[in-house]
Amino acid sequence: MAKVKVAVVGYGVIGQRLADGVEKQEDMKLLGIVDVAPTLSIRALYDSDSPYDVYVVNDSMRGAFEAEGIPIKGNLNDILSEADIVLDATPAGVGAKNKELYLKAKKKAIFQGGEKDEVADVFFHGYANYEKGIGADYLKLTSCNTTGFIRAVDCIDKEVGVERVVVTIIRRSADPGDIHRGVVDLALVEKVPNHQAVDLMKIMPHIDATGALVHVPTTHGHIITLLVTPKKKISVDDALKLFEAHPRIKVVEIEKGFNSNAALFRYARDRGSKRADMYEIALFKETLVLSGNNLFFTISVPQEAVVTPETIDGIRASLKLQTNWKEAVSLTNKYLKME
């Protein structure tokens, strides 16, 4: 079977990782990446061992890349004409504009969480509502935190049902290297509910969710506490078994050194993962307890790479590569080595 052809538009924090993720799928072909300027990420790509092909949005941008010695394979129209689907990872709001080009080129596309819901036909999560994405032309992925904690909530929901969720998100206020955002010696409190809890309810409408969001001076992943009210009581041991069996959840132990978002990042670096990335959320084993019948536990969401698997699930759904969600996510997981 021919590989499906994928274009990544926007080569920032998310786009880089989507490209890497697609490259690892044996049934997909990454045509290349599209960007507007020779950023540091493009420079790093070109300096790497096996750079992807680089396209510009329009030909007027070629000069800037060529001045940096970076060869250009073509423009957006060129890559669109070849692609089966586009992964759009441009800054929030740009995707909505780009959609017109995708419509004109009659190409499917998957947008990231920064875009408004209206950009897409379906608001998508690979595990929680795969079937809604099957055959859809335009999908929007849940954002990093929502993607991450839905994995855990869905994992319990599929077994015993979930009635209610309360999350406290302790989020990084900047990405590594980011000079445009960030708080110093400050924990910024947002109004409740946060959009992540609202988004969970859009994806899993049978659940009542709310949540608080606090921005703190960190860059490596979000820490989230979840209180999950199941429909049927479940023991800590049984919940733990479910989490341990989930390919996209890595159960870690504080006493073995996995005691922070930064420890997970260091582990990924030391293990030799490209970009020190992790696709799994981590669930801290010693934080999993019962409060009455409610499960209470803490996870870490690696904001940079966490949406990669579900985005690739989206390709599978949109292009009907698999019509069974289990088969789809299993393939994604296999190629990303998350089994």
User: Residue 202: is it exposed, middle or buried by C-beta count within 10 angstroms (0-12/13-18/19+)?
Assistant: middle
Residue closer to a second copy (CB basis): 106 or 191: 191
Two structure tokens written together for 38: 């020779």
As measured in angstroms, the least distance from the Cβ of 159 to a second copy is 21
Residue closer to a second copy (CB basis): 106 or 271: 271
Q: 3-class SS at 88?
A: strand
As measured in angstroms, the least distance from the Cβ of 331 to a second copy is 22
As measured in angstroms, the least distance from the Cβ of 38 to a second copy is 8
Residue closer to a second copy (CB basis): 2 or 40: 40
Residue closer to a second copy (CB basis): 106 or 256: 256
Q: Which of 6, 76, 128, 144 is catalytic?
A: 144
Rounded-to-integer distance, Cα 75 and Cα 71, Å = 12
As measured in angstroms, the least distance from the Cβ of 21 to a second copy is 14
DSSP state of 70: -
Residue closer to a second copy (CB basis): 101 or 296: 296
144 is catalytic: yes
Rounded-to-integer distance, Cα 131 and Cα 154, Å = 15
Rounded-to-integer distance, Cα 101 and Cα 34, Å = 14
Rounded-to-integer distance, Cα 107 and Cα 208, Å = 36
User: What are the residues whose beta carbons fall under 8 Å from the beta carbon of 260, sequence distance 6 or more?
Assistant: 300
As measured in angstroms, the least distance from the Cβ of 334 to a second copy is 17
DSSP state of 186: -
Rounded-to-integer distance, Cα 85 and Cα 83, Å = 5
Q: Residues with catalytic annotation?
A: 144
